[in-house]
Amino acid sequence: MRKSLEALLAMVPVVAALVVAPNAAATAQAAASTPASTTAATLKDAASISGRLFGAAAAANLLRDAEYVATLNREFNQLTPENEMKWDFIEPNRGLFNYAAADRLVSHAESQGMTVRGHALVWHSQLPAWVQNMNSPGQLLTAVHNHISNVASHFSGRVAYWNVANEAFDDTSRAARRNSVFQRLLGDAWIEEAFRATRAADPTAKLCYSDYFIEGQNPKSDAVYALVKDFKSRGVPIDCVGFQAHLTSGAVPADMRANLQRFADLGVDVHLTELDIAGSGTAQADSYAQVVRSCLAVSRCTVITLSGVTDKFSWRVSQTPLLFDRYYTKKPAYDSVLSVLIGG
Ligand code: G3I
C-alpha cells in the first residue's frame, strides 16, 4: 500500500490535473492505511491530491533568509504578502505608489510556480494617516477608487485572488459594521464599491471578502453570510470568502464544516486565509487536523493558507501557532495536517 501511495505522490501534478476537489474523499480513502509521516510528501503535494492549494503568508525582507526560503519553496504553493500590499505600505502618500517589496514577493512566487493572493485592498488597519483623517466622502471615494485601480491594475494577471475588503465587521457586537473611516463617510456601500472597482481594474482575479471569528456560525458570520447573499442576489462581483482562522487549540468551532458549507452553498469558494492555531503538541495537532478535515469535507474549500511559515516570525510568536517551530523543525501539527491531507 505504501508503495502505491508513494507512486501517487510522485504523480502529484498529473493527479492534481485529473482529480478535482469533490473526489478528495475517494482519493483519501485509497491512501488511508498509510501513515503519512512515513512518506516524502510536502504540504503542497499532499493538498494537490484533492486539487487544493496550500499556502503561507510571507515577508519580503525574509526572502534573504536561506532557511526561510527553502521551507517556503518546498512546502507551499500559494503565497500571500503578509504586509507588503497593505495600503500604508503601497500608497503611504497620496498618489505615490511603492510596489518594490510586493513585486519582489510576486516575482518570487512566480519563479516557484506559486499562486498569489493579494492582501488587502481596503482595510481599516495599516491605513495611512492621510486616508484615516479624511472627512469628505467624495474625496475618500476618489481615493478608494484611485488606490484600487492602481494596485489591482499593477498586479493584473499576476494575482489570482484579491482580499478586496478585510475585517469590515465590528469586534463588540460583531454583527454591526466596524467604525472605520470608510463606514463613517461612505456608509454600507463602501464594500460594494470596492468589489466593483476591483473587478473593473482586474477582470480575471477572484474577489474575496475576508474576516476573522467567522469560522463557526455566530452573529458575525451570520452578518458576513447576509452580505455575501445580498451581493450574489444583486450581481455584485464576489467569488470567495476568506476565513482567516486565527484559532486556539481545543477551541476550533465544532460547526466549522457546516459553516463553510453554508457559505459555499451561496455559490462562492471558501478559503482559509490566515490559518494559525495557538498551542503546541498533541492538542495543537488535533485542532489543526479538525480544521483541515472541515475544509476537505467542503468541495468549494479550495485553498488553505497559513499566516506564516515558522513560529520564529509569527505575528503571534508567543503562541507558537504554525507548523514549523523556530528552528524550522516540523511540529506534531505538521504531521497531522499532512496525514489528513493524504487521507490518514
Ligand atoms: O514597516 C514597519 C517598519 O518600518 C518598522 O521598522 C517596524 C518596527 O516595528 O514596524 C514595521 O511595521 C510592522 C509591520 O507588521 C511590518 O513588519 C508593524 O509594526 C506591525 O504591527 C505589523 O504587524 C502585522 C499586523 O498584521 C498588523 O496588524 C503583522 O506582520 C501581520 O501578520 C498582521 O496580519 C494581520 C492580517 O493582515 C489580517 N488579519 C489579522 C492579522 C493580525 O493583525
Is the CB of 80 inside a 6 Å radius of any atom of ligand 1? no
**Ligand 1 midpoint to CA 114 (Å):** 23
**pLDDT per position as a tens digit, 273-291:** 999 999 999 999 999 999 9
Helix (H) or strand (E) holding 247: strand 246-248
Banded pLDDT at 15 (limits 50, 70, 90): very low
Asked whether the predicted pLDDT for residue 121 surpasses 50, the reply is yes
Confidence of residue 17 (pLDDT cuts 50, 70, 90): very low
pLDDT reading at 122 higher than 70: yes
Residue 33 neighbours by CB distance under 10 Å: 11
Q: For residue 220, how many other CB atoms are within 10 A of its CB?
A: 21
Quick: pLDDT tens for 238-251: 999 999 999 999 99
- 279's grid cell: 498551542
Give the residue, by CA position, lying nearest to ligand 1 atom 11. Answer: 83
DSSP state letters, 13-54:
HHHHHH--GGGHHHHHHHHTTS-GGGS---HHHHHHTTT-EE
> What separation in angstroms does the CA of 142 have from each of 94, 135, 177, 209?
11, 12, 21, 21
Distance 115 CA to ligand 1 centre (A): 22
pTM: predicted TM-score of the whole model, two decimal places: 0.89
Q: Which residue owns the Cα nearest ligand 1 atom 13?
A: 83
Question: Quick check: 265 pLDDT over 90?
Answer: yes
The H or E element containing residue 122 is strand 115-123
CA pair distance 2, 7, nearest whole angstrom? 9
pLDDT of residue 171: 80
- Cα 148 to middle of ligand 1, angstroms: 21
pLDDT band at 25 (very low <50, low <70, confident <90, very high): very low
Q: Tell me the pLDDT tens digit for each residue of 167-218.
A: 999 987 778 999 999 999 999 999 999 999 999 999 999 999 999 999 999 9
